[in-house]
Chain A
Amino acid sequence: MNLLEIENLKTYFFTEAGVVKAVDDVTLSVERGCTVGLVGESGSGKSVTAQSVLRIVPRPGKIIGGKILFNGEDLLLKKEEEMRKYRGKKISLIFQDPTSSLNPLFTIGSQLADIVIEHEKVKKEEALDRVIKALRIVKLPDPEHAIYQYPHQFSGGMKQRICIARALLLNPELLFADEPTTNLDVTIQAQIIALLKDLQRELGMTLVMITHDMGIVAEMCKYVVVLYAGNVMESGSIEEIFERPHPYTEALLKAVPRLDETRKLISIPGNIPNLIDPPSGCRFHPRCQYAIDLCKEKKPPLEDVGNSHFISCHRWRELQGGRS
C-alpha cells in the first residue's frame, strides 16, 4: 500500500472574481520511503495540493471533492480535532520562505516546543530538549543558545534549517518540502538540498519535493508528478519522464539551462491560464506545439502507458512513434 494516495482531488478558491479551480481532479500516489517530485510552474497547484493533504487550505479555498488516503485512511473524512493530530506529527510541511514562516515575535525554542507540547503533552523542559535535538540534526550551530533567540537573529539558510527542524520535530512519516530553496542564495540552496537528501536517507522518511526546478528533481527524486494548471499532466519514474516526456514536460525541460550544451533556451509561449475559466479539453493545448482539434475538445484521461508511467495526452503515443 502506498503511503499517500490522492484521488480526483478538487480544491477550489471561491473568490469574488469567480471560482478558481486551483487543483482540479488531481490523482497521484506516493510510495513509502521514496522522494517524489511535484513539478510545475507557479500557479499550477503544487502548494495547494500539499495544503489540501494537511487540510490547511486558507480561505476562501475549499476542498470540494476527491479522496486523500494516508495509510489507507481518508483524511477528508476525519474530524478537525483528529486531523490536527496528523499535522506536524505524521505529515509535515516546509515552506518556501523561511523568513515569513517563522513567527517573528516568539523565540525559536518557544514556537518549536509548543508543537511538541501540543502533540505529546510533555513538560516544557522536555519539549525544549526535543527541540535542541532536532536543531542538532539539521546542523544548526549552538542549538542550546539558539532556542533563546528570535528568527530575525538568523540568516536565511539558518532559518530554513530551523524550519526543517520544526517539520522533523515529531518524526513525521511524510514530509512536503514546498520549494524550500527558492528564496535562498545558490550556495545555501546546495547545502539545504544536501541536508534534505541526507535526512531523507537517514530517517527513511517519505519526501514530496515541490519544485519548479528540474535540476533538483533529477538530483533528488525517484518519481515525478508534473502538474499544469491544476491538472496532472504525467507521473512516473524519473527515467521514464526524462526519456519519454509529455509535451508539457518536454517544453519544461527545454527551458532549463545546461552547462554542457550550447543551445538556445526555448521558453514555453504564452502564460499559465486563468483558472477561473480554464481552457477546454487539455488545459495545456493553447501553448502546446503539438495541439490538434481533439485536444481542444476533449480532456485526455490519465492513462497508464507502461512502466508505471501515467500520461494525460491525446498525441503522446503517436509522437513517441515518430521520435523513436
Chain B
Amino acid sequence: MGLAKYIIRRAIYMVPLIIGISLVSFLVMYAAGDPIQLATAGNPSITEAQRQFLREYYGLNDPIPVQYLRWLDHFVHGDFGKSLYGGRPVNEIISSLVWETAKLQLISILLAFFISIPAGVYSAVKQRSAADYTVSSVAIFGISVPVFWFGIVLILVFSYHLGWLPSAGAHGAPYLWPVFGIKNEFLDELAHLVLPVTVLTFANLAYNVRLLRAGMLEVLRQDYILAARASGIPERKVLYKYALKNAITPLLTLLGLSIGAMLAGAPVTETVFSWPGLGRAYVTASLRLDFPLIMGITMIITIMILIANLITDLVYAWVDPRVTID
C-alpha cells in the first residue's frame, strides 16, 4: 500500500465528512435564532419592514436547503461570504486572526509537549518519591485550576503589581513594550506572549505529564526494558530511547488532537488577555449569530482537525511498525 495512495484515499473520505459537518452546523445554527432580530433588538426605532428588508438582503428568507446550497457553492469556491456585522469578508477576518491564534497555541502546545517529556519520565522513574508527588501535584493543579482564574492572577501579579509584562493584546504598537529598556517589535511581541503562553502551557502540560507518566510506568515494567538493562545499555538510553518511544504514543495522539483543535482551543484565554485571535472571534460570532463567520471558522477548524488526524495516523505508523496503513 503506497503512502500517496493512502493519503489520497483518506482525503477522499474527508469530503463526505466535511459536507456532513457543515450541514449539521448549518441546521443547528438556524435553529438557534434569527440574527436580524438579535442585531436589531436594541434599536427601538427600527421597523418590521426594515427588518424584512435586511433578511431579504442577506438571503435569510429563502428556504434553508436553498441557503445551504448557496453557501456550499461559495464554500467550494473558497468564499465564506461576508460578516453580518460590518460586512467584512469572512476570509479576510479569519486570515487576520488565524496567525495570532496559531502562534499562541503552537508555542504553548509544543512547549507543553517538550517540557512534559523529562517531567513525565522523571516522575515515573522516581515513582512515589517527593519529586514524583511534586510533579503530580503541579499537574493536578494545572488540570483543576480554571484558565480564566489563573490568567487573571497572572495579570494581577505580573502586570498590575509588578508591571513587568503587558496584560492585553498581541502587540503594543505603536507603543512598544520595553524589555529591559529595549524597544523593538520582536521583543514587544515576545513580552505580549509570555502570560497567555504560560497559562496555556500550564493547562496542556498537566495532561501531557499525567499521560506520559502512566505510559512510562507501564513500559518500565516490561521485560524488554529489563533486557536492555541486562545488556549493559546505559540507563539514560534505556529511558529516553527504548522506553520513551513505547510510552509516547498517547502523547502523540493528544498532540495531534491539540494541534487539530488549536484554532478553537483557547477562547477563554484569548478573552482574558484580549488576544486578537480566532477563538475569541468564534465566541463573539456565536453570540451574535453571525452566520457566515460561524460557518467559516467551523469549517476551518473541521478541516484542521481532519488533517491533524491524518497526520497523527501517519506518525503512528511511523513510530510503531506493527501499525500498518491500509
Contacts and interface: CB of A to CB of B under 8 A. Distances in A.
A162 to B, nearest CB: 11
A84 B233 CA distance: 7
Most A C-beta atoms less than 10 A away, residue of B220, B222, B230, B246: B230
Given A100-B222, A103-B242, A106-B242, A119 B321 contact: no
B73 interface: no
A163 B228 CA distance: 11
Interface string B209-245: 0000000000011111011111111100100001001
B246 A105 contact: yes
Interface string A84-96: 1111110011011
Interface residues of A, number: 33
Most A C-beta atoms less than 10 A away, residue of B227, B246, B321: B227
Interface residues of B, number: 23
B319 A100 contact: no
Interface in A64-111: 84-89, 92-93, 95-97, 100-106, 111
Interface in B104-163: 127
B233 A118 contact: yes
B230 to A, nearest CB: 4
A238 to B, nearest CB: 27
A104 B319 CA distance: 10
B322 interface: yes
The B contact surface, by secondary structure, is helix
B87 to A, nearest CB: 55
B231 A87 contact: yes
Nearest to A115: B231
Given A56-B226, A95-B226, A118-B237, A103 B232 contact: no
A17 to B, nearest CB: 14
Given A105-B246, A152-B321, A84 B232 contact: yes
Given A150-B321, A152-B322, A103 B230 contact: no
A237 B89 CA distance: 91
B308 to A, nearest CB: 23
Contacts, number: 80
Contacts of A166: 227, 231
Given A102-B224, A105-B320, A105-B321, A114 B233 contact: yes
Contact of A105 (B127, B233, B319): B319
B119 to A, nearest CB: 19
A54 B226 CA distance: 11
Given A87-B232, A118-B234, A119-B232, A150 B322 contact: yes
Nearest to B230: A93
B320 A104 contact: yes
B223 A95 contact: yes
Nearest to A169: B231
Nearest to B220: A58
A115 to B, nearest CB: 5
Contact of B245 (A92, A105, A114): A105
A192 to B, nearest CB: 17
A88 B321 contact: no
Interface string A111-136: 10011001100000000000000000
A234 B231 CA distance: 30
A114 B242 CA distance: 11
Contacts of A104: 224, 246, 320-322
Contacts of A163: 227
Contacts of A100: 222-224
Given A89-B232, A102-B224, 10 more contacts: A51-B230, A84-B232, A88-B230, A95-B223, A96-B223, A103-B224, A104-B246, A115-B233, A118-B232, A166-B231
Question: Top 10 closest A-B pairs, CB basis?
Answer: A88-B231, A87-B232, A88-B232, A101-B223, A100-B223, A150-B321, A103-B224, A101-B227, A93-B230, A115-B231
20 contacts: A58-B220, A58-B226, A59-B127, A84-B232, A88-B231, A88-B232, A93-B230, A95-B226, A100-B222, A101-B226, A103-B228, A103-B246, A105-B320, A106-B242, A115-B232, A118-B234, A118-B237, A119-B232, A150-B322, A166-B231
